[in-house]
Amino acid sequence: MKRLYTLLVVMILTVSYAAGQVVTERCWHLDKVQFLQHKQDFWRSHKMFSTTARSYTGITGGYYNLTEVQYGFGLGLVDVPYSHHYAGISTINGYRFGSGLALGVGVGYNRYNDGYAVPVYGDIRYFMGKERVKFFFAVPGGFLLNFADFRDYSRVFGNPSLGLIVPVAKNFNLSFSAGLLTQYTITKPHNRDSYINMKLGLLFGK
């Protein structure tokens, strides 16, 4: 009889141990699966957060093109030729170094109240900040060529201006600026005309 009781006790202990081991293995497996799921969810959410939290830098370097229309009204003496007002269009192609300095070369066409000129110039500008809307300072300068009367009506000019760009699509930005354009005749050093000018353009860059 004692042997029978002993055998029953041994069998009960064996079954309990086996069941406990199976339950332990199942719990460990479930914990591992849950850990892997939490790990995947963490990295997925971290990636999404990092992407959305990343600051918008717009154009980060490389080739750019800026095409603008502009209008200027004369300051001071405006009753001499090429001094009252003008309207024009221009395009600049250049290279942007990182998110700040940009160098380019431009060409265009200006129509004055009593004539025309073809601007051929260099352009230096600097973009400030890392937000979606960026301010910039630009200093275009070069020649205003008049092929009808090159000697008397061709000029040199400078046009420092302040402006901002607003993104409208990937690699596309609207550009607004205002500045002071001053032009000098080549053969008459004291003949100077000045304008307040405003520009609206589309900036494309990689």
Confidence at residue 114, expressed as pLDDT on a 0 to 100 scale? 85
CB atoms within 10 A of CB 18: 10
Give per-residue pLDDT as tens, 114-130. Answer: 889 999 999 999 999 87
Is the domain 62-205 a CATH 3.30.70.580 member?
no
- Give the SS3 label for residue 98: coil
Cβ pair 64, 102 in contact under 8 A: yes
Which residues, in sequence order, are CB contacts of 204 under 8 Å at separation 6+? 64, 65, 66, 171, 172, 173
Query: Looking at residue 79, what is its pLDDT?
Result: 81
Q: How, if at all, do strands 85-96 and 62-75 pair?
A: antiparallel
Residue 57: per-residue pLDDT: 45
Question: Which pairing describes strands 62-75 and 192-205: parallel, antiparallel, or unpaired?
Answer: antiparallel
d(CA 117, CA 77): 19
pLDDT above 70 coverage of the chain, percent: 69
At 39-96, the pLDDT tens digits run 566 566 555 544 444 444 445 579 999 999 999 999 988 888 888 999 999 999 999 9
Question: Are residues 59 and 206 in contact, defined by beta-carbon separation less than 8 angstroms?
Answer: yes
97: enclosing H helix or E strand: none
Interval 132-145 mean pLDDT:
94
Alpha-carbon gap, residue 11 to 13, rounded angstroms: 5
Q: What angle do CA 124, 129, 134 make, to 5 degrees?
A: 70
Contact yes or no for 109/116 (Cβ under 8 A): yes
Q: How confident is the model at residue 182 (pLDDT cuts 50, 70, 90)?
A: very high
- Residue 90 CB burial class (10 angstroms; 0-12, 13-18, ≥19): buried
**Residue 85 contacts residue 101 (beta carbons within 8 Å):** no
Give residue 129's pLDDT: 82
Q: What's the whole-number average pLDDT of the chain?
A: 81
